[in-house]
Amino acid sequence: MIQYIADAFTDTLFSGNPAAVLPCRQMPATELMQAIAIENNYSETAFVVRRGKGEYDLKWFTPGGEVELCGHATLATSFVLHRFADRGVEEMHFHTLSGELIVRPCPDGYTMDFPVGPYKAVPVTEEILAATGGLAKEAYYDGGDTVAVIGSEKDLAALVPDYDAMRRVDGRGLVITARSQDFDFVSRCFYPKLNVPEDPVTGSAHTYLTPLWAGKLGKTEMVARQLSPRGGTLHVRLEGQRVFITGNAVLFMQGEIPFDL
C-alpha cells in the first residue's frame, strides 16, 4: 500500500499545507481511516477510491475526526492521481460528503470547483472577542466555522492564538481574516477542536471567504494568502454559487504501509 505526502498550495517544499493521500482499492473501515489519520498526525489524511475513468470516492480525516470538506487535501489528492496513481487523468470528479467536486489540471497547478460555503452575519460575542484578542469587528457563522473580520493584516500576523478561548467559539473552527495590501485578503485558520491548532492553508475556508471578500472588494477574482508559519497562496474566483480555487502541490515523499487497502 503506497501512501503519498504532498505539500499543497505551494510550489516549494516545506511550505503550504502537507496532506497524506492513500489511493485504495476500496474505502477502508472508518475506524481504520481514523487510526491512520491519528498515526500520520497531519491536519488531513485523504482516502481515495477509483470508481471509473475520472470518477473517485474521496474522504478526509483529521486526527480528531472525519470532515465534510477539505480543500488542501483535495488538491493534494488531485496532484497524486494526475502525476502518479492515475497518471494523465484530465478531469477528476470526486464524490464526497459535500457533493461532487471537480478538479482540472491547469498551467498554474490545479483548479478546484467547489460550492459556495454558507455564512451569515452574527453579533460579535464576548467569546469571539476573547478568541481574537479583542480585534474582531465583524463576525459570520452558519453552522461551519466562525469567521471574524479584523482591521489590519499586521494585527493578524502578530496575533498569538489563545486556543482555550477559541474552543469556546461556536463551530468547527475559527477563521480570522483581514484586507491585505500585497494580496486581496489574508487569513489564519484555527481548529483546536479537531486537534489542528493552526491549519497552514485551508482551501475549504475560501469557499466562504471568497464571496465575503468579493462583496467587500467589488471583484470576483482575487489572490489570497494564509499567514500561517508555513504560508500558502490561493487564486480564487467566484462564479454564481461556485468558487474556483487554484493552487499547486509538490511531492515530499511516498512510502509503503505494510498492508493492502
Task: pLDDT band for 199, please (50, 70, 90 cuts).
Answer: very high
Q: What percent of the chain has pLDDT over 90?
A: 96
Mean pLDDT value across residues 132-153: 97
Q: Which CATH class is domain 121-240?
A: alpha beta
So what's the pLDDT on residue 190? 97
Q: Which of 31, 44, 55, 256 is catalytic?
A: 44
In angstroms, what CA-CA distances link 40 with 59, 63, 190? 15, 8, 19
So what's the pLDDT on residue 51? 97
Mean pLDDT value across residues 203-220: 97
Q: What percent of the chain has pLDDT over 70?
A: 100
Task: pLDDT band for 1, please (50, 70, 90 cuts).
Answer: confident
**Which DSSP string corresponds to 131-185?**
HTTT--SEEE-SSS-EEEE-S-HHHHHH----HHHHHTSSSS-EEEEEE-SSSSE
Q: What dotted CATH number matches 2-113+246-256?
A: 3.10.310.10
Task: pLDDT band for 77, please (50, 70, 90 cuts).
Answer: very high
Mean pLDDT value across residues 195-200: 93
Mean pLDDT of the chain: 96
So what's the pLDDT on residue 261? 74
153 is a catalytic site residue: no
Q: Whole-angstrom Cα distance, residue 231 to residue 9?
A: 9
Counting Cα atoms < 13 Å in the Cβ hemisphere of 235 gives 10
So what's the pLDDT on residue 260? 79
Boundaries of every domain in the chain: 2-113+246-256, 121-240
Residue 83 has pLDDT above 80, yes or no: yes
C-alpha cell at 129: 472577542
Name the 3-class secondary structure at 200: coil
Task: pLDDT band for 168, please (50, 70, 90 cuts).
Answer: very high
Residue 15 C-alpha from the chain's centroid: 14
Task: pLDDT band for 259, please (50, 70, 90 cuts).
Answer: confident
Task: pLDDT band for 96, please (50, 70, 90 cuts).
Answer: very high
Say yes or no: do domains 2-113+246-256 and 121-240 share a fold: yes
